[in-house]
Structure 1
Amino acid sequence: MNTLHTPDQPSHPFATLSPDRVLDAVESLGAYSNGRCMALNSYENRVFQVGMEDAPTLIVKFYRPERWKTAQILEEHAFVATLAEAGAPVVAPISYQGQTLHEAEGFRFALYPQRPGQAPELDNPDHLFRLGEMMGRLHHIGGLQAYQHRPVLDVAQWGRPAREAVLTCPWLQGSQRTQYAELSDQLLARIEQIMAPFADQWIRLHGDAHVGNVLCRDDDMVLVDLDDSRMGPAIQDLWMLITGTTMAERREQLSELVEGYEQVCEFPRAQLGLVESLRTLRLIHHSGWIVQRWQDPAFPQAFPWVKAEGFWDQQLKLLSEQSQNLTLSMDRMLQV
């Protein structure tokens, strides 16, 4: 029997991260700001744009306390540096005093160059081709060696903890809790079976490759924010870029992505059968993530509907639909 708890907490460490503390942290490295500090949209971490004296503007990322071990952050930094050195279009952390990870008043933080730009257009064939080529470059290098410290995209690490968080929160009403428990357990067990034969194909990924983590400006396109980078199937970095509302649109998007990807490396066509499993895993993870982060004041402000009964009715409906979709291969659906 799960014990219900409320995720509400009176305070959060990020509440102490004032603009003055942000500027003090940057200047502790010997870099001098011009006093301008603007918070940027970010939930998992806290990210600020800081103006500098006689130097380009910096982006400063403060890591969520207790989420990553230092070795895990440094491993991600090393991967991004390797990608940048190989010519892959990524934004790498800046090294100050020979280090990319710093600490101030209990917070670990990193500095990045500012890269202005807009999200790519997923109805633009040229953008899709370039996205595919970009992911091909990342995966070619990502497959050369494995992470030793960062997690794996699987049910045990990404699915079951999120499910437990949902089941122990107080917001599911009446039969919703029983339905969610049974349905999510069945789905996660099925996903484990579907993904198991592919485990030897896992590589280092971006991990959260949606359009918000790609910046376009003129002819440049760069990847940002590998904070969710982990081991997993290559298709994880591609399926969220297929957003067409009709079968024909999705087929065309996938075709452009594949053509770009295969400029660099072979497209993992067999992994198309994992797309619905990954979609389902993301649905479960996302709702659990919100519950787990509820003590952070940013989350109740951004996701107030999570406490509503109707939200969980919708989640149950989506998961029920996914129970039918798990047996479908995108390869077969799109006939590519």
Structure 2
Amino acid sequence: MAPNLPYAGLTPDVVLDALDAAGLRGDGRILQLNSYENRVFQIHLEDGRIVVAKFYRAGRWRDEQILEEHVFAQELAEAEVPAVAPLVLVAPSAEMTTLSPATLLGTPATLAQWSAKPDATPWRYAVAPRCGGRSPELEDPAVLAWIGRFLARLHQVGERRPFAHRLGFDGTARVRAAVASLVDSPWIPMGAFEPWQRTALQALDTVDARLAGLPDLTLLRVHGDCHVGNLLWTPAGPHFVDLDDAVNGPAVQDLWMLLGGSRQEMQAQLGALLDGYETLREFDRRELVLVEPLRTLRLILHSHWIARRWDDPAFPIAFPNFDSPSYWAQQTTQLQEQLEAMAEPALVA
């Protein structure tokens, strides 16, 4: 099978030419940042600014889904919630166009497409100002409380209206489809998949049982991928740098990934987060029963994501054990541990 090269041809010169077409002239300094799904570059401009350009993987999101993410980021910025919003782009070059589908007409043009050759598939990209920071000290209750207040403010904006085009929380439906799609995957060693599949389906049955107790689960626009790598800390407090996985989901979706360690440690972390969160927004504590179910769904989807991207040369390098029996045995063990975690009472705070 020929390798899939989704970013073949995206050389530094092409990146700089694409930004130049939008009136953002680089001074030649360019650094590729860590990102598997998209390609992200830090670029110094001749006017002294430093920006981050994201080139989107073809076929992952539709234009209107990307633009909804951008609109959400702009709403957050206008509400003075620290999230990095993309720049509004102009099109001074005939080779570059900005995209604003009819469903989002009237919104600023933050998504562009550009091609060096008329007959080539254009690159879609967005540009944002660079905002630095460091990892937050999650062992500090004061830091967690501050993050809790930050998330409450994000959710206050998120609950104004739902996404119309981006993904929504659908329980286990999407994850069950992911498990089914892996049945004939050529990347999984013979004999390794069946134990994992059996355990995954058992875990999904348990998740469904937990969700059955929340028939009126409230969904709102959430960050969707709220882990420490997407949360940067500055003297002014926390800010998010990536809303690429923003979805309609429960509020707890943005809290559980910040919890780790022993049950006692997670209990203390959750208490600090909610101490901050509930100073600004009410939190439905029934959602705490979903902490381990949501962790389970993410664990399964992560394996499916790697399988879908395995013919991209970047993925075998990043996940060298994925096509080995040891990887799937380890994943099976982790799912068994999740079954045990989901059998325990929900965290309380």
Q: TM-score, normalised by structure 1?
A: 0.91
RMSD: 1.7
1:102 aligned partner: 112
1:176 aligned partner: 192
Q: Which moved more, 1:196-205 or 1:107-116?
A: 196-205
Q: Which protein has greater RCO, CA pairs closer than 8 Å, 6+ apart? A: 1
1:229 and 2:246 are equivalent in the alignment: yes
Q: Which moved more, 1:131-140 or 1:218-227?
A: 218-227
1:163 and 2:179 are equivalent in the alignment: yes
1:259 aligned partner: 275
**Secondary structure of the corresponding residue to residue 270 of structure 2:** helix
**Which blocks of at least 5 consecutive residues in structure 2 are unaligned?**
91-107, 116-121
Match of 1:44 among 34, 37, 41: 37
- CA distance change for structure 1 residues 156 and 242 in 2, over 3 Å: closer, same or farther? closer
2:297 aligned partner: 281
- CA distance change for structure 1 residues 12 and 76 in 2, over 3 Å: closer, same or farther? same
Kindly state the Cα deviation for residue 41 of structure 1 after the two structures are TM-superposed.
0.5
What CA distance in whole angstroms lies between the structure 2 residues aligned with 1:137 and 1:188? 32
What CA distance in whole angstroms lies between the structure 1 residues aligned with 2:135 and 2:109? 30
Higher helix residue share: 1
Q: Which moved more, 1:172-181 or 1:75-84?
A: 172-181
Q: Which moved more, 1:59-68 or 1:314-323?
A: 314-323
Native 8 Å contact 2:146 2:237 kept in 1: no
Match of 1:122 among 138, 151, 156: 138
- CA distance change for structure 1 residues 200 and 220 in 2, over 3 Å: closer, same or farther? closer
Native 8 Å contact 1:44 1:64 kept in 2: yes
> What amino acid is the match of 1:278?
L
Kindly state the Cα deviation for residue 9 of structure 1 after the two structures are TM-superposed.
4.1
TM-superposition CA deviations, 1:187-233 (whole Å, max 9, x none): 22332342253554011110000010011122332111000000111
1:111 and 2:132 are equivalent in the alignment: no
Kindly state the Cα deviation for residue 251 of structure 1 after the two structures are TM-superposed.
2.0
**Which blocks of at least 5 consecutive residues in structure 1 are unaligned?**
1-7
What CA distance in whole angstroms lies between the structure 1 residues aligned with 2:79 and 2:59? 31
Native 8 Å contact 1:151 1:157 kept in 2: no
2:12 aligned partner: 19
2:227 aligned partner: 210
Kindly state the Cα deviation for residue 326 of structure 1 after the two structures are TM-superposed.
2.3
What CA distance in whole angstroms lies between the structure 2 residues aligned with 1:71 and 1:303? 31
What CA distance in whole angstroms lies between the structure 1 residues aligned with 2:222 and 2:216? 14
**Secondary structure of the corresponding residue to residue 86 of structure 2:** coil
2:156 aligned partner: 140
1:3 aligned partner: none
Native 8 Å contact 2:65 2:165 kept in 1: yes
Native 8 Å contact 2:187 2:307 kept in 1: no
Native 8 Å contact 1:203 1:234 kept in 2: yes
Native 8 Å contact 1:158 1:281 kept in 2: no
TM-superposition CA deviations, 1:74-130 (whole Å, max 9, x none): 111111111110111100001122510000121110000001111111111221111
- CA distance change for structure 1 residues 265 and 198 in 2, over 3 Å: closer, same or farther? farther
What CA distance in whole angstroms lies between the structure 1 residues aligned with 2:82 and 2:23? 28
Native 8 Å contact 1:171 1:309 kept in 2: no
**Secondary structure of the corresponding residue to residue 103 of structure 1:** strand
- CA distance change for structure 1 residues 157 and 69 in 2, over 3 Å: closer, same or farther? farther
Q: Which moved more, 1:320-329 or 1:256-265?
A: 320-329
- CA distance change for structure 1 residues 86 and 198 in 2, over 3 Å: closer, same or farther? farther
Identical aligned pairs, as a percentage?
Answer: 42
1:80 aligned partner: 73
